Structure 1
Amino acid sequence: MRPTQRLATALMLSMGFAAPVAAAQCGNNAGGFDAWKPAFAQEAAAAGVGQRGLDALANARYASSTIAADRNQKSFNYSLDKFMQVRGADTIVARGRKRKSRDAGFYQSLEARYGVPAGVIIAIHGMETAFGGFMGDTSVVSAITTLTYDCRRSDFFAPHAIGALKLVDTGAISGSTKGAKHGELGHTQFLPGNALRYGVDGNGDGRVDFYNQTDALASTANFLRQKGWQTGAGYQEGQTNFNVIKQWNAAGVYQKAIAIMAARIDG
Structure 2
Amino acid sequence: MGKSRLWAGLIVAALGLASPAAAAQCGNTSAGFDAWKGDFARTAKRAGVKGAGLTALAQARYATRTIAADRNQKSFRYSLEKFMEIRGANTIVAQGRRHKARNAAFYAALEQKYGVPSGVLIAIHGMETAFGNYMGDSNVVSAIVTLTYDCRRSAFFEPHAIGALKLVDQGAITGTTKGAKHGELGHTQFLPGNALQFGVDWDRNGRVDFYNFQDALASTAHFLRKKGWKPGKGYQQGQPNFKVLKEWNAATVYQQSLALMGARIDN
Q: Same fold (TM over 0.5)?
A: yes
Task: Give the unaligned 5+ runs of structure 1.
Answer: 4-19
Cα deviations by residue, 1:194-226 (Å, 9 ceiling, x for unpaired): 000000101111110000000000000000000
CA distance in 2, matches of 1:249, 1:137: 21
Count of paired positions: 250
CA contact (8 A) 1:21 1:43 kept: no
Cα deviations by residue, 1:133-162 (Å, 9 ceiling, x for unpaired): 000000000000000000000000000000
Alignment-mate amino acid for residue 76 of structure 1: F
**Residues 143-158 of structure 1: matches in 2 within 5 Å?**
143-158=143-158
CA distance in 2, matches of 1:249, 1:94: 23
Per the TM alignment, residue 101 of structure 1 is displaced from its structure 2 partner at its CA by 1.1
Q: Are 1:127 and 2:143 counterparts?
A: no
Alignment-mate amino acid for residue 248 of structure 1: W
Alignment-mate amino acid for residue 260 of structure 1: L
State the match for 2:255 in structure 1.
Answer: 255
Aligned-residue CA RMSD (Å): 1.5
Task: Give the unaligned 5+ runs of structure 2.
Answer: 1-7, 10-19
State the match for 1:100 in structure 2.
Answer: 100
**Residues 115-194 of structure 1: matches in 2 within 5 Å?**
115-194=115-194
CA distance in 2, matches of 1:47, 1:177: 22
Per the TM alignment, residue 102 of structure 1 is displaced from its structure 2 partner at its CA by 1.3
Per the TM alignment, residue 23 of structure 1 is displaced from its structure 2 partner at its CA by 4.6
State the match for 1:197 in structure 2.
Answer: 197
State the match for 1:73 in structure 2.
Answer: 73
CA distance in 2, matches of 1:217, 1:57: 28
Alignment-mate amino acid for residue 218 of structure 1: A
Describe the SS at the equivalent of 1:153: helix
Per the TM alignment, residue 24 of structure 1 is displaced from its structure 2 partner at its CA by 3.8
Q: Are 1:61 and 2:56 counterparts?
A: no
CA distance in 2, matches of 1:21, 1:117: 53
Alignment-mate amino acid for residue 217 of structure 1: L
Describe the SS at the equivalent of 2:161: helix
Alignment-mate amino acid for residue 82 of structure 1: K
**Residues 39-54 of structure 1: matches in 2 within 5 Å?**
39-54=39-54
Q: Rg larger in 1 or in 2? A: 2
Alignment-mate amino acid for residue 77 of structure 2: N
Alignment-mate amino acid for residue 63 of structure 1: A
Alignment-mate amino acid for residue 132 of structure 1: G
Describe the SS at the equivalent of 1:27: coil
CA contact (8 A) 1:119 1:263 kept: yes
CA distance in 1, matches of 2:205, 2:228: 27
State the match for 1:15 in structure 2.
Answer: none
Cα deviations by residue, 1:167-199 (Å, 9 ceiling, x for unpaired): 000000000000000000000000000000000
CA contact (8 A) 1:21 1:42 kept: no
CA distance in 2, matches of 1:63, 1:220: 27
Q: Structure 1 residues 263, 65: CA separation in 2 closer, same or farther (over 3 Å shift)?
A: same
Cα deviations by residue, 1:45-67 (Å, 9 ceiling, x for unpaired): 00000011000000000000000
CA contact (8 A) 1:228 1:244 kept: yes
State the match for 2:222 in structure 1.
Answer: 222
Q: Structure 1 residues 241, 80: CA separation in 2 closer, same or farther (over 3 Å shift)?
A: same
CA contact (8 A) 2:27 2:150 kept: yes
CA distance in 1, matches of 2:24, 2:175: 21
Per the TM alignment, residue 25 of structure 1 is displaced from its structure 2 partner at its CA by 1.2
CA contact (8 A) 2:24 2:35 kept: no
Describe the SS at the equivalent of 1:176: coil
> TM-score, normalised to structure 2's length?
0.92
CA distance in 2, matches of 1:133, 1:75: 21
Per the TM alignment, residue 258 of structure 1 is displaced from its structure 2 partner at its CA by 0.2
> TM-score, normalised to structure 1's length?
0.92
Q: Structure 1 residues 23, 231: CA separation in 2 closer, same or farther (over 3 Å shift)?
A: farther
Q: Structure 1 residues 21, 238: CA separation in 2 closer, same or farther (over 3 Å shift)?
A: farther
Aligned-pair identity in percent equals 72
CA contact (8 A) 1:167 1:173 kept: yes
Moved over 4 A (4+): 20-23
CA distance in 2, matches of 1:25, 1:213: 39
